[in-house]
Amino acid sequence: MSRIVVVSNRVAVARDPEKTRARAGGLAVALEATLRESGGLWFGWSGETTQNRHRTPKVTKAGQVSYAILDLTRAERNEYYNGFANQTLWPLFHYRTDLTTYERGHEKGYVEVNRFFARHLAKLLRQDDLVWVHDYHLLPMGEELRRLGIPQPMGFFLHIPFPPPEILLTLPNHEAIVRSLFAYDLVGFQTPSDLRAFQVYVTQEAGGEVRRNSIVGAFGRTIRTQAFPISIDTREFAEMADSQAAKREYERTRASMRGRELILGVDRLDYSKGLREKFRSFERFLDQRAKSRGKVVLMQIAPPSRGDVAEYREIRRDLEQLTGHINGRFSEPDWVPIRYLNRSFQRANLAGLYRASRVALVTPFRDGMNLVAKEFVAAQSPDDPGVLIISRFAGAARELNDALVVNPYDTDGVANAINRALTMRRRERVERWSSMMDVLEDNDLTAWRRKYVGALRRTGLSARASRSL
């Protein structure tokens, strides 16, 4: 079987696999499982900076899996990571043209880091490898590898949304970005609507065509495009919610609630997650339902992220202020409405918190998928499950349509959904939960990666054969 080479911005498991697994999100675990299954290499940024311009990858090995990581200079980190990836592509691909900044220098640095990675990765590749590149940091990676003459099958998976052409056109160099995707054999998106947005760009802006089975031609190349909604390890997560560590967290939290109901939010501190509006909707709920005051608590877990970028520092300040405002306004000597935790937890503790909650409030403005929603469902107790409230703009809402689906811009609508969730009878909760759980059991993370890798193997190998004709 061919070796899989995963390329992603960060390589999570390189240092201490056990520790990282307990802390990392599901994706890192999934990618590592892919590599373990067929043997492989995981390549990317170490997360560190250095002053040394002459660098070679640090390679470590654990069983069948090798990890190769490279440091970046400070300038590279600023242009590639903080700059083009997180101040241009991230906001733009989340439809936030208002927050998107564009600097030619950042874009140049972004392409150069991709080239630098490609040069070092090329030396580590073997004849029959399959290369799987992840996410918006590395869009031009495939093109850079092809320039170096790498013929191996190559796939790309975009974890974030793909914006409609009207939005993408605001990026000065939009064509270069889309063209670079045509270096891959397979380009995967989270949802059919992301796939559609890409295909509309190709036909309307790039003069390309979409053929049967999502084969897309443009820029003199033909590639396969497909939606592969990412998922979680459903069974493992359900089991984790039953583990000792989860039970301890569950007991501790329930005891602290003194019979009150818990509404939970778990989101990276990011403006795409709609956190300010979530808090305002909760405030509206408390405003309108005076009888519920004192009976319900919103616990928001929000690990800080990308603190080098101004918008992220701003949202942190705003949420601290908003929490103070709402708590100041409604608190009683024995009750505080919002518990705001600006830190991260081990996965097993998160599972215990999901299980301890009557409601999960997942209200992003735009989200590629949202794994928190799926984890919450998987962690519930089958005979007394909680209710998921999910934004229609999260990719996961498409599969989890038995949740209460809301529009996060509609403060009253979300406040009503909170009330509906808190008063929902057990029978309806069980019905909704079991149909969502069926979906998650049939479409778990293993199914996702096997589908992707299977499609890459088929498409990539035939493309490689025709390349060498």
Residue closer to ligand GDG by CB (options 35, 210) is 35
Instruction: Please state, in angstroms and rounded to a whole number, the distance separating the CA atoms of residues 435 and 439.
Output: 7
**3-state class (DSSP) for residue 28:** helix
- Look up 159 and say whether it is catalytic: yes
Would you call 407 exposed, middle or buried from its count of C-beta atoms within 10 A (0-12, 13-18, 19+)? middle
Instruction: Please state, in angstroms and rounded to a whole number, the distance separating the CA atoms of residues 86 and 82.
Output: 5
Residue closer to ligand GDG by CB (options 22, 150) is 22
Instruction: Please state, in angstroms and rounded to a whole number, the distance separating the CA atoms of residues 245 and 247.
Output: 5
Task: Check: CB of residue 279 under 8 Å from CB of residue 326.
Answer: yes
Q: What is the closest distance, in whole angstroms, from the C-beta atom of residue 301 to ligand GDG in the complex?
A: 6
Structure tokens, 323: 């929490």
Name which of 134, 106, 43, 373 is nearest 237 in CA terms: 373
Residue closer to ligand GDG by CB (options 8, 416) is 8
Q: What is the closest distance, in whole angstroms, from the C-beta atom of residue 203 to ligand GDG in the complex?
A: 26
How is the beta sheet containing 387-391 ordered, strand by strand?
Answer: 338-341, 296-301, 261-266, 359-362, 387-391, 404-406
Name which of 264, 260, 280, 249 is nearest 335 in CA terms: 260
Q: What is the closest distance, in whole angstroms, from the C-beta atom of residue 343 to ligand GDG in the complex?
A: 7
- Look up 367 and say whether it is catalytic: yes
Q: What is the closest distance, in whole angstroms, from the C-beta atom of residue 227 to ligand GDG in the complex?
A: 13
Q: What is the closest distance, in whole angstroms, from the C-beta atom of residue 322 to ligand GDG in the complex?
A: 20
Residue closer to ligand GDG by CB (options 368, 385) is 368
How is the beta sheet containing 215-218 ordered, strand by strand?
Answer: 58-62, 65-72, 40-49, 4-10, 130-134, 154-157, 186-189, 221-227, 215-218, 209-210
Choosing from 94, 159, 185, 233, which is the catalytic residue? 159
Q: What is the closest distance, in whole angstroms, from the C-beta atom of residue 372 to ligand GDG in the complex?
A: 4
Question: What is the binding site for ligand GDG (CB under 6 A)?
Answer: 23, 25-27, 159-160, 230, 266, 268, 301, 303, 344-347, 350, 367-372, 375
Q: What is the closest distance, in whole angstroms, from the C-beta atom of residue 193 to ligand GDG in the complex?
A: 13
Residue closer to ligand GDG by CB (options 266, 406) is 266
Per-residue CA distances from 63 to 32, 36, 41, 343, 446 (Å): 12, 8, 11, 33, 20
Task: Check: CB of residue 133 under 8 Å from CB of residue 7.
Answer: yes
Choosing from 267, 367, 402, 444, which is the catalytic residue? 367
CB neighbours of 275 closer than 8 A, spacing ≥ 6?
265, 267, 269, 300, 302, 315, 319
Residue closer to ligand GDG by CB (options 219, 345) is 345
The region, left, alpha or beta by phi > 0 then psi within -120 to 50, assigned to residue 226 is beta
Residue closer to ligand GDG by CB (options 2, 86) is 86
Catalytic residues: 159, 367
